[in-house]
Chain A
Amino acid sequence: MPVALMKVHLCHKDREGKDNNIMSKEIIKIENLKRDFTMGTETVHALKGISYTIHEGEFVTIMGSSGSGKSTMLNILGCLDQPTSGTYEIDGVSMKDLSRNELATIRNEKIGFIFQSYNLLARTSAIENVELPLLYNSKVSTEERRERAIKALEMVGLADRLHHTPAQLSGGQQQRVAIARSLVNNPVLILADEATGNLDTRTSYEIMSLFQELNKQGITITFVTHEPDIATFSSRTIVLKDGNIIQDYLNDNIQSAAEELAKLPKEDH
């Protein structure tokens, strides 16, 4: 929230960093991050050396045209992929210093990741899909796991679809199962890759208001989207183009998704 209150239009991470250190800690810090994909003789430079810092409690949207490197970047932030070069510090710890098991634990306990292509387990009910991250957390009991999964599905409006398998759900419903799965482990950082891409305006506003709610509770959110109106709900926008950051600005007029939702005509639903 402190960041959201700042009226300054920022392009210099130096200043941003200085101002925020006083109030909250850096949860994501990347520096000169590069990611190359080699396919045979050809090399794709998906990320060409990007740097920025995200503080705890920020709600950042990442925008950019298709193929600009948004998913590539988010995968690295989610500890699902390794950068070719550059540094990534998550909560003050460099990713390079973490073992595979430590990364798994971070993914399990700290991060909620929503995939662009959902990645639900086929032939598995919604509730079991949502329970999945908790199965790998030995601190959560069977009963608690079930309770939390049901609660997460309720939050995304799927309380009546607990036992449906992905094949029995619409695209938007599958997307919401994926969102519920990312919430179930009470993450401190949510990374969403076009989490509302398949939802109608009303449902996506509902999801955005849910995210705003979570953000108010202190959860940091990084949200990839193509839709400019979705970006107005966030506190900061980073725009990528061809693997570079071309814009990084704070949003001085954050809209409330709940209010926008109320303004929508009823027949829209």
Chain B
Amino acid sequence: MRVLNLLKIAYKAIVLNKLRTLLTMLGIIIGVASVIAMLAIGEGSKESIRTTISSMGSNMITVRPGEDDRGPARGSGGDVQTLTLNDYKEIKEKSTLLNYITPVVNGGGQVINGSNNWPSTIYGVYPEYLDIKVVGLQSGSMFTDAEVQSASKVVLLGQTVVDNIFPDGEDPIGKLIRFNSIPFTVIGVLEEKGENTFGQDQDDIVIAPFSTVQKRILAIDYLNQIMASAASEDDAPEAVTQVTEILRAQHKLLDYEDDDFTVRSMEELISTFSSTSEMLTVLLVAVAGISLLIGGIGIMNIMYVSVKERTKEIGLRMAVGGKGSDILMQFLIEAILISITGGVLGVILGLSATVFIEKFLHWPTSVAMYSIVISFAVCAITGIFFGWYPARKAAALDPITALRYE
């Protein structure tokens, strides 16, 4: 009976102060929702970077021309011409820790099939490329070393290229297409890989024998990069050192001279990227923390002020016989109802925002349980405490003092 009355009183007071209730709830809703959504973005990108990189083959080692001065996400280093086929041959001959190795040249151009054309990138490689990149074939077969020697005009296409130049769904194997003006026979289609973490379409690719691309398409005598794979993941760091030594000797670099090339293992790349994503998460956590703090202060303010404002009401309730504990229970129930409702709505909004971000912005997200628990708890506890604390102070006054409060 008593509890029922208190619930009734609290409910009436909430309905009576709709705007105040709404504002308080809004603070809680936004606080909770933003923290959940932000942490979901942080967790999501971290996870997706991890999976992408490990699917790329963690034994991979790349050698690019030019000094390592532009960070991990640099381009192909096309205008630096310090890497040659002789470098490749030297590494292949001297290195003991590599399984596969291939020179790489690449360039952009139009892939043309009749009236359909599509801009893409052609990679000139050795057959080992597939083993290094850990890609399989959907159909057809890889070109052979002999075809590389003879600079055969054969290509393998990525799925995106196939979709765009064979829009009717015909089988591309055996078809004659052109890259820029040069005719090629399609001998295979690469396994689909989808987008990587950075939004690049890994299927928008054309692969052809190294010599064909280097001589017939690009007409260059240097390499864009050398790709290799270490015998095992554990060998990768040592392989990097070994390759570096071989190349320094090959380039006749003196001790004080810097490398004119860059050797990287995938593992290094992983750690670079995961530390980047780690930083992103830390940043997002910081932003989330700040918004939680600001949300908390907002809740605190509005709760404190609105309860303070009702000191007169508290005085009246005591004057007509409300006990201190009745008043406190009323405000506690009010604060709990408002905070819990706001918190639940905030969780719902945060989850919806996360779904929205994933669906429409195509950002990877992953909702962490801890973000729901922490944001909900912080907002609810702040709301409840600052609904209760000023009420407690008002309820400790003599009724007439509270009634006189302006």
Spell out A's residues near B (CB within 8 Å): 75, 78, 80-82, 100-101, 104-105, 107-109, 113, 115, 119, 121, 123-124, 128, 132-133, 135-138, 181, 185
Contact = CB atoms under 8 A, between A and B. Distances in A.
B313 A100 contact: no
Contacts of B254: none
Contacts of A181: 320
B12 A128 contact: yes
B5 A82 contact: no
Given A80-B399, A119-B403, A124-B16, A100 B321 contact: no
Contacts of B398: 80-82
A107 B319 contact: yes
Contact of A136 (B312, B323, B399, B400): B323
A80 B400 contact: yes
B322 interface: yes
A101 B323 contact: yes
Given A119-B403, A138-B2, A104 B9 contact: no
A224 to B, nearest CB: 15
A81 B400 contact: yes
Given A105-B323, A123-B16, 14 more contacts: A80-B399, A81-B400, A101-B323, A101-B324, A104-B318, A104-B324, A119-B319, A119-B403, A121-B16, A121-B316, A133-B321, A136-B5, A136-B321, A138-B5
14 contacts: A81-B399, A81-B401, A104-B318, A107-B319, A108-B322, A113-B319, A119-B312, A119-B319, A132-B316, A132-B317, A133-B321, A135-B9, A137-B321, A181-B320
B219 interface: no
Contacts of B369: none
A11 to B, nearest CB: 30
Report the 7 A-B pairs with minimum CB-CB distance, sorted nearest first.
A108-B321, A133-B320, A80-B400, A81-B400, A136-B321, A80-B399, A104-B323
A104 B325 CA distance: 11
Contacts of B320: 107-108, 113, 132-133, 136, 181
Interface string B321-333: 1111110000000
Nearest to B402: A80
A115 B8 CA distance: 25
Nearest to A139: B1
B18 to A, nearest CB: 10
Contacts of A133: 320-321
Contacts of B399: 80-81, 107
A184 to B, nearest CB: 9
Nearest to B18: A123
A101 B325 CA distance: 9
Contacts of B8: 135
A100 B324 CA distance: 8
B398 to A, nearest CB: 6
Contacts of A75: 400
Given A81-B398, A128-B12, A119 B316 contact: yes
Contacts of B16: 121, 123-124
Contacts of B400: 75, 80-81
A138 B401 CA distance: 26
